[in-house]
């Protein structure tokens, strides 16, 4: 596996060649490998019809507070475009009524990786959801009561929402679309197009009660914070992504990335939610998916010099860290269970096009609880990451999968793990 990682790192510098070699390699390995469609106590919860169903990212839960209802998106096609030009419908699933569905809304701003940031709104997580949309030629967010279908429009999109439901942080979805299509929105042309390092706001704070929007940080704020020589290259292209607010709503983390040609650099930075007290938490070139364990610790898949790639538990505003599950050296989407006892993560398709879900504990124990096949149709930017998410009681995992031939929503019960 380390040989494969070395080859992958080299090919990352030649993206078009990487796609060709990767596909040929996977075809050969698939032909000679045992065929697995799925393993584990997996149950589909979305209907069998002409639509594709999925929820989105791994840092949110599709369940409401009492776990009767779940929400997700449905669309006709999610494998031709990373950010399709037709609306997706917002679906309410009644788990106490044979998983019957009700269409409660639609959105024109969505992508195949993160959906439309659909989620239940705190602090109650019972009747209101929030999601992004495009109305009157503007990005916005919608707060919707799932019982009355009453809407309230916030004139700015959201990325990460505080647990008390009072505010959200956001970024430039149009720039994100141009630089990482599967994570942004196509609806408006990027205002900073062709600018490597814009002197423009890149993170905003939105008051979800009043609708007030406050500029927090610019791209240049990140580039001027403990700068490296690679940032100063006039041809470097800068962006931010993956904002996540701490559980107590006081700080947030964000990935600051810049590109020099095909070479990508990533930093993990934390900051107060008013834009002050910025701290550089990780600066060894690669950091990927992260999650707040509590208000002071972050679990991150990253590279650490002299150690390599893996999952590290990092203490905010310090240099303290712990290397967890040292045998796991491949990236995934980790999150802590609400009771704090477990971590769930997934994997990308292996050489046989099989993805897996693992449950881990801080004492270095882990076990695989599910495997699913990933069809070749869903690959590269339109791939279907499993993005496992916890229920509110730490007993079930929900994930997206295409092993049936299209995107659908599944659950796996983890009681007894």
- Average pLDDT (300-316) is 97
Residue 416 CB contacts under 8 Å (≥ 6 apart), including other chains = none
**pTM for this entry:** 0.93
> Helix (H, G, I), strand (E, B), or coil: what is residue 38?
strand
According to the model, what pLDDT value does residue 261 have? 86
According to the model, what pLDDT value does residue 365 have? 84
Please tell me the least confidently modeled range out of 5-19, 23-37, 83-97, 290-304: 5-19
Spatial contact of 17 and 388, defined as CB atoms under 8 Å apart: no
According to the model, what pLDDT value does residue 227 have? 94
Instruction: Identify the band that residue 91 occupies on the pLDDT scale cut at 50, 70 and 90.
Output: very high
Instruction: Identify the band that residue 4 occupies on the pLDDT scale cut at 50, 70 and 90.
Output: low
According to the model, what pLDDT value does residue 13 have? 61
**Above 70 in pLDDT, residue 115?**
yes
**Which domains, from first to last, does the chain contain?**
50-338 (2.130.10.10)
Instruction: Identify the band that residue 9 occupies on the pLDDT scale cut at 50, 70 and 90.
Output: low
Q: Residues 358-408: pLDDT tens digits? A: 999 876 788 999 999 999 899 889 999 999 999 999 999 999 999 999 999
How many percent of the chain have pLDDT more than 70?
Answer: 95
According to the model, what pLDDT value does residue 30 have? 75
Spatial contact of 111 and 83, defined as CB atoms under 8 Å apart: yes
Rounded CA gap, 301 and 322, in Å?
12
Q: Residues 127-143: pLDDT tens digits? A: 999 999 999 999 999 99
**Above 70 in pLDDT, residue 187?**
yes
According to the model, what pLDDT value does residue 232 have? 86
* Residues 403/406/408/413 CA torsion (nearest 10 deg): 0
**Above 60 in pLDDT, residue 417?**
no
How high does pLDDT run on average in the chain?
A: 93
How many percent of the chain have pLDDT more than 90?
Answer: 84
């Amino acid at each position: 596996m380390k040989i494969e990682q070395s080859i992958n790192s080299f090919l990352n510098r030649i993206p078009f060649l990487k796609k060709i070699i990767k596909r040929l390699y996977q075809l050969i390995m698939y032909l000679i490998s045992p065929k697995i469609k799925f393993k584990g106590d997996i149950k589909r919860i979305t209907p069998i019809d002409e639509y594709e169903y999925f929820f989105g990212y791994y840092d949110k839960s599709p369940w409401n507070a009492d776990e009767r209802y779940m929400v997700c998106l449905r669309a006709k096609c999610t494998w031709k475009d990373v950010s399709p030009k037709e609306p997706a419908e917002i679906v309410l699933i009644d788990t106490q009524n044979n998983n019957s569905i009700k269409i409660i809304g639609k959105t024109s701003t969505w992508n195949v990786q993160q959906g439309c940031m659909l989620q239940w709104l705190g602090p109650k997580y019972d009747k209101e959801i929030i999601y992004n949309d495009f109305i009157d030629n503007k990005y916005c967010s919608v707060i919707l009561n799932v019982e009355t279908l009453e809407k309230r429009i916030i004139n700015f999109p959201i990325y990460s929402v505080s647990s008390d439901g009072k505010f959200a942080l956001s970024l430039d979805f149009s720039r994100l679309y141009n630089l990482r299509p599967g994570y942004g929105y196509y609806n408006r042309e990027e205002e900073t197009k062709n600018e490597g390092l814009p002197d423009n706001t890149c993170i905003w704070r939105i008051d979800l009660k009043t609708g007030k929007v406050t500029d927090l940080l610019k791209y240049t704020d990140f580039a001027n914070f403990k700068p490296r020589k690679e940032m100063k290259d006039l041809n470097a292209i800068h962006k931010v992504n993956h904002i996540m607010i701490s559980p107590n709503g006081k700080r947030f983390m964000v990935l600051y990335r810049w590109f020099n040609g095909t070479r990508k650099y990533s930093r993990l930075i934390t900051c107060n939610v008013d834009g002050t007290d910025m701290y550089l938490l990780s600066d060894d070139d690669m950091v990927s998916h992260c999650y707040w364990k509590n208000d002071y610790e972050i679990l991150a898949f990253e590279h650490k010099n002299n150690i390599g790639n893996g999952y590290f538990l990092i203490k905010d505003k310090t240099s303290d860290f712990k290397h967890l599950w040292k045998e796991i050296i491949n990236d995934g989407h980790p999150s802590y269970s609400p009771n704090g006892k477990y971590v769930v993560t997934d994997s990308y398709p292996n050489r046989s096009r099989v993805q897996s879900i693992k449950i881990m504990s801080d004492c270095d124990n882990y076990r695989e609880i599910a495997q699913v096949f990933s069809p070749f149709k869903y690959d590269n930017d339109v791939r279907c990451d499993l993005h496992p998410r916890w229920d509110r009681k730490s007993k079930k995992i929900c994930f997206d999968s295409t092993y049936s031939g299209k995107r659908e929503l599944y659950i796996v019960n983890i009681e007894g793990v």
